[in-house]
Amino acid sequence: MNSLKTWLLMGVLTVLLVLLGRWVGGPSGALIFLLLAVAMNFVGYFFSDSIALRMSGARELPESEAPQLHAMIRRLADRAGLPMPRVYITPSPQPNAFATGRNPQHAAVAVTEGILRLLTPHELEGVLAHELAHVRNRDILISSMAAMLAGAITWIADAIQWGAIFGGFSRQDDEEGPGLLGGLFMAILAPIAATLIQLAISRAREFKADATGARIAGTPDGLASALLKLEAAAQQIPSFVNPSTAHMYIVNPLKGSTIAGLFSTHPPIEERVRRLRAMHL
């Protein structure tokens, strides 16, 4: 059900982008923006991993520097039926982790320096199993594509609004399309809708990765305990994560507990822990 919901939401994002294009340039604009959506998905497919790692300041961690961490990831990858991913570490003191890569053959798992200091081996195993679940479920690809589409919609909508303010768009109400006021209305609502859809996709994938990760680890206890520790640390230890990559981390690295649920990149930790503790493996 989650997979069907995700792909339906991805389709809605593409439709939003095409509708903006139709208002800007009529049928030809719709075609151009559809091709833009395809191009952005292409970029997201092939380059999302390198972009994410570069933005986080991650460096590849050789096995000689962290043999126990590599052994733990290798053991979990074997359980999940995945090839060994590349291992990275970021200099952030805030405990967190993320996975990236378009498919299992090009996957990478990144941990922060803070998470290696905070969690017990049992808890760390739960977190790493969660990240490998993202790899197995192809969540990284879907989330990256959704983020790029939502970002494109927001950028184009901003351009339309500024263009209308300064007279850059002069479509008349009797021309094909929704007219100036209708177009402005669309330009205001489209980025809000795109953001809500992107965040809904992110939250749905987190629940699924929690469940899959618990099965890979063989128990939900380590992940449940880790989530509570990571959530508490995220409220106390600052992070300098780019907001556009916040959805990738196992817990929201930004202090977002006061943000309304609809605008959160992650489901509530309490609900995630409740679902994990209710699992019977």
Catalytic one of 123, 125, 131, 231? 131
Which pLDDT does position 245 carry in this prediction? Answer: 75
Burial of 242 (0-12, 13-18, 19+ CB in 10 A): exposed
**Residue 217: is its pLDDT beyond 50?**
yes
Which pLDDT does position 53 carry in this prediction? Answer: 86
More confident residue, 255 or 6: 255
* pTM for this predicted structure: 0.72
Which pLDDT does position 281 carry in this prediction? Answer: 77
The total of structural domains in the chain comes to 1
pLDDT digits (tens, 9 = 90+) for 139-197: 876 666 666 566 566 666 666 555 555 555 444 444 444 455 555 555 566 556 556 66
162 CB neighbour count, 10 Å cutoff: 12
Alpha carbon distance 27, 11 (integer Å): 19
* Strand-pair category, 59-60 with 86-90: antiparallel
Which pLDDT does position 55 carry in this prediction? Answer: 82
Whether residue 82 contacts residue 132, with contact meaning beta carbons closer than 8 Å, is answered with yes
Whether residue 246 contacts residue 253, with contact meaning beta carbons closer than 8 Å, is answered with yes
**C-alpha dist (Å) from residue 218 to 134, 166, 215, 277, 280:** 16, 60, 5, 13, 10
pLDDT digits (tens, 9 = 90+) for 230-280: 999 998 998 877 776 777 899 988 764 444 444 566 889 999 999 999 998
Which pLDDT does position 150 carry in this prediction? Answer: 60
Domain residue limits at 199: 2-277
Q: For the chain, what percent of residues have pLDDT higher than 90?
A: 41
Within the chain, residue ranges assigned H as helices are: 2-56, 67-80, 113-118, 121-136, 139-165, 179-217, 221-236, 269-277
pLDDT digits (tens, 9 = 90+) for 21-64: 666 666 776 677 667 666 766 666 666 677 778 888 899 999 99
12 CB neighbour count, 10 Å cutoff: 15
pLDDT band per the 50, 70, 90 thresholds, residue 125 = very high
> Is 131 a known active-site residue?
yes
pLDDT band per the 50, 70, 90 thresholds, residue 12 = low
pLDDT band per the 50, 70, 90 thresholds, residue 130 = very high
pLDDT digits (tens, 9 = 90+) for 65-114: 999 999 999 999 999 999 999 999 999 999 999 998 878 998 999 999 99
Taken in order 23, 14, 27, 174, the sign of the CA dihedral is negative
Residues making up the binding site for Zn(2+): 130, 134, 206
Spell out a b/e string for 132-158, using b for 16 or more CB atoms within 10 Å of the CB, else e.
bbbbbbbbbbbbbbbbbbbbbbbebbe
**Residue 16: is its pLDDT beyond 70?**
no
